[in-house]
Amino acid sequence: MNLADKVLAVNNDLPIRTQRPIHSGKVRSVYWLTDADSKRLIQEKGYNVAPDAPLAIMVISDRISAFDCIWQGEGGLSGVPGKGAALNAISNHWFEQFKTHGLADSHILDTPHPLVWIVQKARPIMIEAIVRKYITGSMWRAYSKGERAFCGIQLPEGLQKDQPLPELLITPSTKGILKGIPGVPEADDVNISRQDIEANYQAFNFRQPSDIDRYETLLKDGFHVIRQSLANIDQLFVDTKFEFGYVTDANGEEQLIYMDEVGTPDSSRIWDGDAYQQGQIIENSKESFRQFLLNYFPDPDILLNKNRMVERQALATNNQLPEQALLDLAATYTGIAEKITGQPLPLSDNPREEIIDILSQGYGLI
């Protein structure tokens, strides 16, 4: 069996019984189950959700997305071996840690296969929040050009690239295009301040103003749980993205939960602690792939400049990256997953067949 067969690149064509069109994102595809299947599974499996809660199957692919494009490798390698399983395993680990520390639950109800989650429908908070402990990446690029205000927070003079920030920073941005919010442009991923959120909490889907404090507490506490755990394996937690939503449990109680993924190499920067002490940055995250792309193509501005999106899409479509680049990235993903979870990562020889078999036999959904 060749390497390409072990990669799940296409994840939106599985024969899962659904009620609505399949939603396919950059990496995950979501299959909304029929009302009858949702009710049956809640009863059979005893999930702690309302009896009529809509459930979905979420299938993660091994596709690699960077700079808002999907990238391909030589020899038909249309993803990174082990990437999907690594992301799911890391997220599962942190979500469990959050529960253990009494923080909040997640949208995940079940993990039938390393690439599959059964999730409950959440009412999402329309914010992507980045929590930052170090100044690097886009924040450093803006700071080095003279910007000092970020999401309503003023940074001091004299910060150096990649150094720890004076305090943990929360830099929220819009999730999707939100309309009619004073001072907030109608575009995806626009930076916002806490003042914007407080003044328009309903537009961001918060139930009540006090939930903003709860959301900030979950952000900071979640970050600290991951940071402490990574410190034990000599890794630095640099920054990460969090998303939240509301769900209703079996008792009819509404809860604010973590959703999407957390603390993964896709949603976070993780640096090797020992290398950092010696003045080097070794990325254990997707950032290493972004750096590879910036060095690989002669005009990196295409990847950084939002006005050159057409050229960027053409680069991704028309170039097959060296197989070794994707294998190096596979080693980064699987290596950090095994370090974090302390378990070997289960890898499939034919993920597609395995998923169909498990969802048919154990869940009656094919």
Q: Concatenate the DSSP letters of all residues of 90-154 into one string.
A: HHHHHHHHHHHTTS--BSEEEEEETTEEEEE--EE-SEEEEEEEE--HHHHHHHHTT--EETTEE
The SS3 call for residue 258 is: strand
β-pairing, 69-73 vs 320-321, is parallel
Per the CB < 8 A criterion, the answer to whether 81 and 6 are in contact is yes
Q: Where exactly are the structural domains of the chain?
A: 1-122+269-366, 123-268
> What are the tokens at 63?
């596709």
User: CA 163, CA 140: separation in Å to the nearest integer?
Assistant: 10
List pLDDT tens digits, range 193-249. 999 999 999 999 999 999 999 999 999 999 999 999 999 999 999 999 999 999 999
Per the CB < 8 A criterion, the answer to whether 118 and 57 are in contact is yes
Q: Give the CATH number of domain 1-122+269-366; options: 3.30.200.20, 3.90.1200.10, 3.40.50.300, 3.40.50.2300.
A: 3.30.200.20
Closest listed residue to residue 71, CA positions, set 328, 289, 300: 289
Domains 1-122+269-366 and 123-268 share a fold: no
| Structural fold of domain 123-268 | D-amino Acid Aminotransferase; Chain A, domain 1 (3.30.470)
List pLDDT tens digits, range 71-118. 999 989 999 999 999 999 999 999 999 999 999 999 999 999 999 999
β-pairing, 64-66 vs 69-73, is antiparallel
The pTM (predicted TM-score) of the whole model is 0.94
Closest listed residue to residue 269, CA positions, set 120, 143, 364, 131: 131
